Structure 1
Amino acid sequence: MQIKARTLSCLALVVTTLAITSCGTRAPVPTEGEAAATGGADQIATLRIESSVTRDALQGAMPGARMLSFNPAGGYAILSVTGQDGRAAGARLNSQSLRTLGVSSVQFEADVVLSAPSDPRADGLGLTGWAGGITGWAAGITGWAAGANILPETDWNRAVAYWNALGLPQAQQLVPERGQGVKVAVLDTGVDLNHPLLQGRVDAAAGWDFVDGDALPQEEHALLGDGKYGHGTAVTGIVLQVAPNAKVLPLRVLSPDGSAPMSRVVQALDRAVASGAKVVNLSLGSTTDSTALNTAIAGALAQGVLVVTSSGNSGTEGMVYPARKVNSATFPADSGLLAVGSVSPGLYKSDFTSYGVNMSLTAPGEEVLTTFPDNRLVRATGTSFAAPAVAGALALALSAGPSSPARLVTDLCATARANLDPIFKTKLGAGTLDVAAFVDTYR
Structure 2
Amino acid sequence: MKETPMTRPTLIRSSMGLLLSAALLTACGTSTPTAAVPQPGAGSSAEQIVTVLNPDPALSDVQLAARHGGTLVTRTPAFAVIAAADTRPLTAQNAGLGVVRERNRGALSLPAMNRVNAGSNTIGGQGVNYWGGGVAYWGNGVAYWGGSTTLWGSGVAYWGGGVNYWGGGVNYWGGGGQNGTTVANIDTWQSIGLDVAQTRLGANGVPGAGVTIAVLDTGVDVAHPMFTSSLTPQDTWYDFADGDALPMDDGTFGQDASGHGTEVAGLALIVAPGAKIMPVRVLDAQGQGNVSSVVQGILWATDHGADIINLSLGSDEPVEAVKQAIGYANDAGVVVVASAGNAGTEGLRYPAGHFAGSALNLAVGSHGLAWNKSAFSQYGALSLLAPGEELVGPAPGGRLAAWSGTSMSAPVVAGAAALALSSGSLNGADAVRRIQATATGVDALAANQPFAGKLGAGRLNLDALTRP
Task: Please give the range of the TM-score, normalised by the shorter of the 2 chains.
Answer: 0.7 to 0.9
Q: Distance in 2 between matches of 1:402 and 1:57?
A: 45
Alignment of 1:70 with 2:75, yes or no, is: yes
Q: Offset at 1:220?
A: 1.1
SS at match of 2:129: strand
1:219 aligns with 2:249: yes
CA deviation after TM superposition for structure 1 residue 299, in Å: 1.4
Contact 1:284 1:310 survives alignment (8 Å): yes
| Corresponding residue number in structure 2 for 1:17 | none
- Residue 143 to residue 118, structure 1, CA distance change in 2 (3 Å): farther
Q: Return the match for 2:191 from 165, 187, 190.
A: 165
SS in 2 for 1:431: coil
Structure 2 counterparts to residues 26-425 of structure 1, below 5 A: 41-49=47-55, 55=61, 58=64, 65-67=71-73, 69-72=74-77, 75-83=78-86, 105-111=98-104, 113-122=107-116, 123=118, 124-129=127-132, 131-133=149-151, 134-135=156-157, 136-137=165-166, 138-142=169-173, 147=178, 156=182, 158-175=184-201, 176-203=205-232, 204-222=234-252, 226-327=255-356, 333-356=357-380, 358-419=381-442, 420=445, 421-425=448-452
| Structure 1 residues 342 and 39: alpha-carbon distance in aligned structure 2, compared to 1, 3 A threshold | farther
Q: Secondary structure at the match of 1:308?
A: strand
Q: 1:274 to 1:40 in 2, by over 3 A?
A: closer
Counterpart of 1:437? 464
Name the aligned partner's letter for residue 424 of structure 1: F
More divergent stretch after superposition (43-52 vs 123-132): 43-52
CA gap 1:438/1:52 in 2 versus in 1, 3 angstroms: farther
Residue type of the alignment partner of 1:70? R
Judged with a 3 Å threshold, the aligned counterparts in structure 2 of structure 1 residues 368 and 208 are, in CA distance, closer, same or farther, namely: same
Matches of 1:231 and 1:280, distance apart in 2 = 16
- Contact 2:366–2:388 (CA under 8 A) maintained in structure 1: yes
SS of residue paired to 2:185: helix
In the TM superposition, residue 190 of structure 1 has moved relative to its aligned partner by 0.3
* Greater RCO (Cα-Cα under 8 Å, separation 6 or more): 1
User: Does the 8 A contact of 1:46 with 1:291 survive in 2?
Assistant: no
Distance 1:227 1:365 in 2: 20
Q: CA RMSD in A?
A: 2.7
Contact 1:341 1:353 in 2 (8 A): yes
Q: Contact 1:171–1:435 at 8 Å: present in 2 too? A: yes
- Report percent identity of matched pairs: 37
For 1:368, the aligned partner's letter is L
Q: 2: distance between equivalents of 1:275 and 1:380?
A: 29
Distance 1:145 1:394 in 2: 24
3-state DSSP of counterpart to 2:54 = strand
Match of 1:25 in 2: none
Displacement of 1:317 in angstroms is 1.1
Contact 1:336 1:406 in 2 (8 A): yes
Give the CA deviation at 1:54: 5.3
Relative to structure 1, the CA distance from residue 51 to residue 416 in structure 2 (aligned partners, 3 Å threshold; closer, same or farther) is farther
Q: Which has the higher strand share?
A: 1
In structure 2, the CA distance between the partners of 1:199 and 1:414, relative to structure 1 (3 Å rule), is same
User: What is the TM-score with the length of structure 2 in the denominator?
Assistant: 0.73
Amino acid at match of 1:126: N
Alignment CA distance shift 1:279-1:157 (3 Å): closer
Cα distance in 1 for partners of 2:429, 2:179 equals 42
Asked if the contact 1:191/1:232 (under 8 Å) is kept, the reply is yes
Could you list the runs of 5+ residues in structure 1 that have no partner in the other structure? 1-37, 88-103, 328-332
Q: Is the 8 A contact 1:114 1:260 kept in 2?
A: yes
- What amino acid is the match of 2:291? M
Is the CA contact (8 Å cut-off) linking 1:139 and 1:178 kept in structure 2?
Answer: no
- TM-score between both structures, scaled by the size of structure 1: 0.77
Aligned to 1:118, what secondary structure does the other structure show? Answer: coil
CA distance in 1, matches of 2:179, 2:349: 42
The alignment covers a number of residue pairs equal to 373
CA distance in 2, matches of 1:386, 1:109: 28
State the 1:160 CA deviation: 1.6
Amino acid paired to 2:363: A
Look up the equivalent residue of 1:71 and give its one-letter code. T
Structure 1 227/361 Cα, relative in aligned 2: closer, same or farther at 3 Å?
same
Q: Give the whole-Å Cα distance in 1 for the aligned partners of 2:285 and 2:348.
A: 23
Secondary structure of 2:223's counterpart equals coil
